[in-house]
Amino acid sequence: MGNIIINFLIIVKSVILLPFFEYSKKMGFRENLKDELKYQDLKVKELAEKAMVSKRTIDHYLTENSYMPSADTAVRIAQALNVSVEYLVTGKDTACATEIKETVLPLVKKLNHLSDSDLHFFAEVLERLTK
């Protein structure tokens, strides 16, 4: 059930939030990583633990003179954030092509702040409504 919510949020973010922030499509890994940390309200230390990468490494990718991470590291960071590597590198995620109504945006922002148990409840309600 948790995967449904995660996939839902990824699709909503890619289809609704990114068009509102067109500038992110022009940004690189560093800027997209910073934005994603802010969006998910994650600290660098938390991401480092989830991605099994040192905090110093993540800090480096967030600095002005940083270089692109190796493919393996980029995948671990993307998986820890539940986004694609493509999104971190380009700001786009072409795998998500589902169209979602604009009225869903306020709901997504609220979902981001729910506890795991509330998200589970929401997923069950959504599942029943869409049957």
Domain borders along the chain are 1-23+95-131, 28-90
Buried-exposed string 81-112: b where 16+ CB fall within 10 A, e elsewhere: bebbbebbbbbebeebeeebeeeebeebeebe
Half-sphere exposure of 93 (CA within 13 A, CB side): 23
Regions of the chain where pLDDT drops below 70: 1-26, 93-102, 105
The whole-angstrom separation of Cα 71 and Cα 61 is: 13
Share of the chain above pLDDT 70, in %: 70
Give the pLDDT score at 24: 39
Give the pLDDT score at 14: 58
Give the pLDDT score at 25: 42
CATH 1.10.260.40, domain 28-90, yes or no: yes
